Amino acid sequence: MGQFSGYTVEAMDVDPEPNLGGKDEAKEKPILVILVGAPGSGKSTFCDHVMRLATRPWVRICQDAIGNGKAGTKNQCLTAAASALKDGKSVFIDRCNLSREQRADFVKRVGPEVEKHAVALDLPAKLCISRSVKRTGHEGNLQGGKAAAVVNRMLQKKELPKLNEGYARITVCQDKKDVQAAINMYTALGPLDKLPPGFFGQKNSDSKVQQGIMKFLKKKDPPECSDAVVYIASENIQSHATKEKDSNQVLESCEEQKKTSVGSSISLENAPTLAFPSISTADFHFNLEKASDIIVEKVEEYVNKLGNARLVLVDLSQNSKILSLVRAKAAEKNIDSKKFFTFAGNITNLYSDGGLHCNAIANVTNWRLKPGGGGVNAAIFNAAGPALETATKAKAKSISSGKAIVVPLPSSSPLFSREGVTHVIHVLGPNMNPQRPNCLNNDYVNGCKILRDAYSSLFDGFASIVRTQEELCKYSFEKITEGEVQLDQGSRNGGQKAKRETVCEADMNKKYKSFVKELGPNVGSSGDGSTGGQITKAWGAWAQALYDTAMHPERHKNIIEMSDDVVVLNDLYPKAQKHLLVLARVESLDRLEDVHKEHVTLLKTMHSVGLKWAEKFLSENSSLTFRLGYHSVPSMRQLHLHVISQDFDSNHLKNKKHWNSFNSPFFRDSVDVIDEVSQNGKAVLKDENVLSMELRCHRCQSAHPNIPRLKAHISSCQASFPAFLLQNGRIVFSEGKDANS
């Protein structure tokens, strides 16, 4: 049994537990990674991907935003880096750093207690220029036409980093595949892991140096270095006394690369981890023997389902009886002690005090999901700060016994920044304490059933987090910039069509900037019906907003409901009094054309969520009516269902395309889509030609010359809806109301 900082890791069999950061064992060595690359090379995106998924705590320092969200100075970056490294965090320096001089101060300011790396994103100039020109909302405002000249000028002074600058490791990425491999490598790097030293990448390096190294390698049977060849810079080779010494170092580096499996699977010590207290045994007075039986039963059921993920039972005292009981019973069941173990310590300080990094922690909450009440619930809400209460309210108002609710923890929470906790899972078990609500009065038949359900819900919630993280790890860096290299293709084609698309995209970029200004850089709106040209899979930068909202809802301010399957938000440019979007949280489901039979359950879930919100609005205003549906060809990526009231009373409804996108065959009712996909495996889609149809009232079908005249008419039109809309539940209205009125 190893002790550290007042915490104890207790094994459940004779095998020792994996070292979790004890002071007498391996100690984490922070890493300073200096990113090198032109504007548009993807430095910020690189940091974002690693920081969202890595078990090692990282801090990104960006000169464009270091001054309270505004551009700052290099000295501010140096000071911030020193402070973060002193706190034991690893640091990304997100600056261009294209010259040796620009990098030198960062290397000189840190001592041997910090490992120094460089990652050079040496991507083609054309790609960097394309991205820089097309992006919007950039932190340093380097975008649009001026970006091309700046990138060209900066690349003329490019000096790739060299080992003699003081780096332990340099990784050069020359294409998107290299970048993704580097992202995977640093994501997989746990708190105690090290990367092999040396110079990696740069396929176009000096051929003589490369040949010399390969000659050295042939002196011994070379190890298999998966998908990587190690190159050492020429000056590094010449500094060694003998070629044999160089050869041995290269071989050792390759062996280390093979052992650590960098960029592939994550070791168990760095796997996704859930820390949970025993449910209902403290404040809720549940019998310890019965509780420990259920814990072990449920852990045994789930431990293999979770793959490499780990479960950790936590209690404050190393003399805890529940820990002792569970440990003994788990040993009897031969449960893998690397995938499930017990830990004595405060669940809110597991990493900072105990070295145990947990992606998720469980909170034994009350039915109101409120702070306070003492015990674990009060401790977690206090440690997480107001951000947790706000995020919890956005998810649910209450919880029933035996259920769990997963809440993504905002990055502003101290638990996120200090402990690396990305999710809190609220769970409510049975109550045997007569001083608390809904006491079961020792009814252990019902109590044991509820407790089993509570652990099942908790572990299912954690499984959903693990699945999401796995999907994000697989998410290709290439998709973020899909189609961006086609920047000058339109100009080469020329013609009126290219001109129309440019105007259209400029309009959408303007709209996207307004999102950034109002709600921050990650918030989007549907924007459907705003474009005139055929939309392809080469989504522009503005069209990514909904995708980012669905995949990373924790970054956004305008989410009103979230689950594992969907995200709900108000359309920022509503076309009626009430206009919601229900977004599918599934990769590669960009639009209705991508939907097939296997997505029927998801479609039904989206419809059910949309219907629930329509009914909520109807309870507040019974005069409203609603339609739920999809656009045949959306202008923004990520499948989304529109829930829209039929008053169309909105200043954002401005033109014929806006109107016809909701009042022509282009708008496919949700109920019809579900029927068609269920029966035929796909939905019937209409092309965008219908958007140019004449303006007609959606009730009486009378024609009108322009939007103002149409709006004046529909504000007073009392005609019944067309017969086809009154069938199959296409129109949603309050009970007791005549849909024709």
Q: Report the distance separating Cα 313 and Cα 343, nearest Å.
A: 6
Q: Report the distance separating Cα 429 and Cα 365, nearest Å.
A: 9
**Mean pLDDT computed over 146-160:** 79
CATH fourth-level superfamily of 488-733: HIT-like (3.30.428.10)
The two structure tokens encoding residue 375: 């015990």
The two structure tokens encoding residue 362: 């469980």
pLDDT confidence of 679, banded at 50, 70, 90?
very high
The two structure tokens encoding residue 678: 């269920």
Each residue's pLDDT tens digit, 590-602: 899 989 998 999 9
Confidence at residue 738, expressed as pLDDT on a 0 to 100 scale: 56
Residue 407 has pLDDT above 90, yes or no: yes
More confident residue, 53 or 264: 53
Q: How many CA atoms lie within 13 A of 171 on its CB side?
A: 24
β-pair partners for 313: 276, 342
- Cα dihedral 118/122/128/129 (nearest 10): 120
The two structure tokens encoding residue 691: 């958007």
Residue 402 has pLDDT above 90, yes or no: yes
Q: Report the distance separating Cα 143 and Cα 179, nearest Å.
A: 22
β-pair partners for 199: 170, 231
More confident residue, 509 or 596: 596
Q: Report the distance separating Cα 63 and Cα 80, nearest Å.
A: 10
List C-alpha distances in Å: 270 to 188, 291, 344, 353, 389. 8, 29, 19, 17, 28
**Mean pLDDT computed over 4-29:** 39
Residue 721 has pLDDT above 80, yes or no: yes
Domain boundaries, the chain: 2-12+268-471, 31-260, 488-733
Mean pLDDT of the chain: 77
Task: Give the CATH number of domain 2-12+268-471.
Answer: 3.40.50
Known catalytic residue at 596: no
List C-alpha distances in Å: 637 to 37, 479, 572. 28, 12, 16
Q: Report the distance separating Cα 683 and Cα 668, nearest Å.
A: 9
- Residues 607, 631, 640, 698: which is the catalytic one? 640
Confidence at residue 139, expressed as pLDDT on a 0 to 100 scale: 58
Helix (H, G, I), strand (E, B) or coil at 648: coil
**Mean pLDDT computed over 273-297:** 93
**Mean pLDDT computed over 155-162:** 85
Phi, psi of 181 (to 5 degrees): -65, -40
Each residue's pLDDT tens digit, 459-476: 999 998 887 766 555 443
- Domain 31-260 in the same topology as domain 2-12+268-471: yes
Task: Give the CATH number of domain 31-260.
Answer: 3.40.50.300
Which DSSP category does 221 fall into? Answer: P
Each residue's pLDDT tens digit, 649-671: 999 999 999 999 999 999 999 99
pLDDT confidence of 512, banded at 50, 70, 90?
very low
The two structure tokens encoding residue 487: 């920047």
Q: In 3D, which of 555, 556, 553 has the Cα closest to residue 565?
A: 553
pLDDT above 90 as % of the chain: 38
Who's near 437: CB < 8 A, 6+ residues apart?
Answer: 367, 431
Torsion sign over Cα 338, 342, 344, 350:
positive
Confidence at residue 397, expressed as pLDDT on a 0 to 100 scale: 86
pLDDT confidence of 521, banded at 50, 70, 90?
very low
Q: Any idea what the Cα angle at residue 570 is, between residues 601 and 584, rounded to 5°?
A: 25
β-pair partners for 91: 32, 59
Question: What is the spatial order of strands in the sheet that 31-36 belongs to?
Answer: 58-62, 90-94, 31-36, 115-121, 169-173, 198-201, 230-231
Each residue's pLDDT tens digit, 62-103: 888 777 667 788 888 899 899 889 888 999 999 888 888 889
User: How much is the pTM?
Assistant: 0.38
